Amino acid sequence: MSKPSVPASAPTREWWADAVVYQIYPRSFADGNGDGMGDLRGVLDRLPYLERLGVDAIWLSPFYKSPQADGGYDVADYRQVDPLFGALEDFDAMLQEAHRRGLKVIVDLVPNHTSDEHDWFRAALSAPPGSPERDRYIFRPGQDEVPGSGDGNRAPNNWKSIFGGAAWTRVTEADGSAGEWYLHLFDTKQPDLNWENQEVRDEMRSVLRFWLDRGVDGFRVDVAHGMVKEQGLPDWDGVAAMVEGTSEVPREPAPPGDAPGAHTDAEEPHRAVSPVYPPSPFFDQDGVHEIYRDWHRVLSEYGSDRMMVAEAWVEPAERLALYVRQDEMQQAFNFDFLMAGWDAERMAEAVDASLKAAEGVGAPCTWVLSNHDTVRHSTRFGLTDPTTFPKGIAGDDEQPDTALGLARARAATMVELALPGSAYLYQGEELGLPEHTTLPAGARQDPTFFRTQGAETGRDGCRVPLPWAADKPGYGFADSFQGEPAAPWLPQPAEFGPLAADQQDGEEGSTLELYRAALTFRSARHLGTGSLAWAEVNAPDSGLLAFHNRDVLVLANMGFASAPIPEGYSVALSSGPEPVAEWELMHEVPVDCAVYLVRN
Ligand code: NOJ
């Protein structure tokens, strides 16, 4: 595997280098006005909870004006708050209060596509083919069903939408005739922008400045590997899966030579190994990096402490590392770690590969186990094969062993929080919430469910509104609202009751208290800025993951037999259910458990 030829430099020590970032999916976090939908008021009300949890920053998934065809990842106005979530003043108040409490705030930026209800797309529809309005998007004439017939009845190429179905939709022209087609890598209601168009670049730069001027600390960049498409939009026979960038086709080395669409930057490495074969013409094109160099310059105008984190489902780790070169973004999500599952060998490999790749470009690693697009790790780890990555779970699918899944999830989180770098937590994982695996089809909202005719269950199961108070309607989703709240926008499973935050607060052994303790430990021992050394007892092939970070030894038992605790160490924190008083009697780490050990 070739390494990118980029200069290594000293790891940076900005706030984000070792930050623990808590992801808020605004629809489902907390409902401040009792309408059944989470909102910015709800976030404001819960800032004390987040401060107490011990995280450093929050990342908010989109709360912008949007018809909500994809939970807000279909933006109709990048500078407005959707009335569902409040108003700009609510955002400002929330931001100010977060900063007062020492929490940084990262917002989501969705630059690959807009909503079809964005003014630009509306203008494009009422303008003729070839107009400047259409050029902001990717409009093309169709191919003829019968060559030469001029009917344009076939889509311009064979690309499939990541959400299922075709990636092209045909429009009706002003005169009522069947017209051009537009590209949408996601839903029909999410037309792709044309990043060859200067106006698009200028607009997104201006959107960055709009939020930077309001004081945000960073951006999570949606589909960061997707904006630039290969010249000529050639057919592609690969299969892009729901998780963007992953492919169901076999992996083979790419043909030698420049990657298609590569620009002439001398620094750009050749693509020696392609994870997706044939290489995708719409993901991870080398041209995207110029955009990030440009944005890096914009952020620099605001000082050195603003950051961007790439959502880029790119492999191998060396390709991902290109997004976090010194003059591009500051972080990229490490989905290799998320996809390793409950498996010591795969996890150790992901850790090694990620650390090596990040080190090569002088960037800190990130670690994540769950987010709003994936089945919660507490549920994945309770399946017969805890390394599988289902696209949602429905009532007639295999149901998880919830207790086993939770035990493993707690242990995996302890591993994550002890690794050097920055960690991302997804709302509700600190309560040990499982995926909702029996949501009725009628309640589903994720476009992937509809576009695949139910073949993919979709992501609703990890987006269920949080339980704050067991005895209140909607398990206290609208706890701070004085009045009778509407039912939460997705039904909550009965299992959420005992897991509500008020049930776990102050309860020894609860998942919430474990997260608080692990975060306190991580911060007190500076594990985020430490470094990893595999321990002598590390034995991933028999299920034991063991590493040192600073003066801490971490053991995680993913095997089938208890693992002895090395002489001279005692347990400082355990993911297991035994009370603190019993830790000093522990001589072994049980299966499905992780411990932080310190020298006696
Ligand atoms: C990635 C986001 O995380 C996901 O929720 C969204 O559906 C797609 N990008 C499209 O914006």
Does 8 map to a domain? Answer: no
Bond into 440 cis (ω within 30)? no
Task: Output the CA 543–ligand 1 centroid distance in Å.
Answer: 34
309 C-beta closer than 6 A to ligand 1: no
Sheet of 366-368: strand order equals 331-332, 307-310, 218-221, 104-109, 57-60, 20-24, 422-426, 366-368
Share of the chain above pLDDT 90, in %: 88
pLDDT at 264 over 60: no
**Which residue, by CA, sits nearest to atom 10 of ligand 1?**
73
Does 39 map to a domain? Answer: yes
Task: Output the CA 74–ligand 1 centroid distance in Å.
Answer: 9
113 and 138 Cβ atoms separated by less than 8 Å: no
Q: Any idea which residue has 């992996």 for tokens?
A: 251
Distance CA 469, CA 496 (A): 10
Q: Rounded mean pLDDT of 266-284?
A: 59
222, 230, 343, 592: the catalytic one is 222
Task: Output the CA 311–ligand 1 centroid distance in Å.
Answer: 9
Ligand 1 probe mutation, 114, 186, 227, 456, most atoms within 8 A of CB: 186
381 C-beta closer than 6 A to ligand 1: no
Q: What is the pLDDT of residues 353-376, one digit of tens each?
A: 999 998 888 899 999 999 999 999
Q: What DSSP letter does each residue of 454-496 carry, written as one string? A: TSS--SGGG-PPPP--TTSGGGGTTTT-SS-PPPPSSPPPTTH
pLDDT at 261 over 50: no
28 and 461 Cβ atoms separated by less than 8 Å: no
Q: Rounded mean pLDDT of 331-351?
A: 96
- State the alpha helices, DSSP H only, in 301-342: 317-321, 335-340
301, 536, 541, 582: the catalytic one is 301
Distance CA 209, CA 222 (A): 17
Distance CA 347, CA 544 (A): 11
**Which residue, by CA, sits nearest to atom 5 of ligand 1?**
373
> Which candidate, 98, 75, 97, places its Cα nearest to that of 207?
75
429 and 377 Cβ atoms separated by less than 8 Å: yes
128 and 241 Cβ atoms separated by less than 8 Å: no
**Which residue, by CA, sits nearest to atom 11 of ligand 1?**
73
Q: Would you say how long the chain is, in residues?
A: 600
What does the pLDDT read at residue 555? 98
> Which candidate, 106, 79, 84, 83, places its Cα nearest to that of 95?
106
Ligand 1 probe mutation, 70, 78, 368, 451, most atoms within 8 A of CB: 70
Q: Rounded mean pLDDT of 227-253?
A: 66
pLDDT at 266 over 70: no
For residue 371, the ligand 1 atom closest to its alpha carbon is 3
What does the pLDDT read at residue 276? 59
Q: Rounded mean pLDDT of 168-196?
A: 97
What does the pLDDT read at residue 135? 98
517 and 583 Cβ atoms separated by less than 8 Å: no
List of residues 6+ apart from 266 with CB closer than 8 A = none
> Which candidate, 580, 599, 459, 494, places its Cα nearest to that of 163?
459
Distance CA 587, CA 559 (A): 17
Number of domains in the chain: 1
Q: Rounded mean pLDDT of 512-533?
A: 98
Q: What is the pLDDT of residues 133-173, one digit of tens each?
A: 999 999 999 999 999 999 999 999 999 999 999 999 999 99
**Which residue, by CA, sits nearest to atom 6 of ligand 1?**
73
The pLDDT-based confidence of 40 (bands split at 50, 70, 90) is: very high
Beta bridge pairs of residue 593: 557
Q: Rounded mean pLDDT of 327-344?
A: 95
pLDDT at 30 over 80: yes
460 C-beta closer than 6 A to ligand 1: no
What does the pLDDT read at residue 279? 85
> Which candidate, 34, 47, 53, 29, places its Cα nearest to that of 520?
53
pLDDT at 402 over 80: yes
Share of the chain above pLDDT 70, in %: 92
What does the pLDDT read at residue 110? 98
428 and 421 Cβ atoms separated by less than 8 Å: no
- The answer to whether residue 199 is catalytic is no
pLDDT at 557 over 50: yes
Ligand 1 probe mutation, 118, 223, 246, most atoms within 8 A of CB: 223
The pLDDT-based confidence of 465 (bands split at 50, 70, 90) is: very high
The pLDDT-based confidence of 277 (bands split at 50, 70, 90) is: low
Query: 236 lies in which domain range?
Result: 15-112+201-504
With 0.85 as the threshold, say if the pTM is over it: yes
Does 21 map to a domain? Answer: yes
Does 267 map to a domain? Answer: yes
Does 487 map to a domain? Answer: yes
What does the pLDDT read at residue 181? 98
328 and 293 Cβ atoms separated by less than 8 Å: yes
186 C-beta closer than 6 A to ligand 1: yes
70 C-beta closer than 6 A to ligand 1: yes
- CATH number of the domain at 499, please: 3.20.20.80
For residue 112, the ligand 1 atom closest to its alpha carbon is 11
Mean pLDDT of the chain: 92
pLDDT at 274 over 90: no
222 C-beta closer than 6 A to ligand 1: yes
The pLDDT-based confidence of 238 (bands split at 50, 70, 90) is: confident
Range with the poorest average pLDDT among 223-227, 264-268, 539-543: 264-268
77 backbone dihedrals φ, ψ, rounded to 5°: -150, 115
Does 76 map to a domain? Answer: yes
What does the pLDDT read at residue 315? 86
What does the pLDDT read at residue 215? 98
45 C-beta closer than 6 A to ligand 1: no
Q: Rounded mean pLDDT of 409-419?
A: 98
Does 443 map to a domain? Answer: yes
Does 138 map to a domain? Answer: no
What does the pLDDT read at residue 510? 98
- The answer to whether residue 294 is catalytic is no
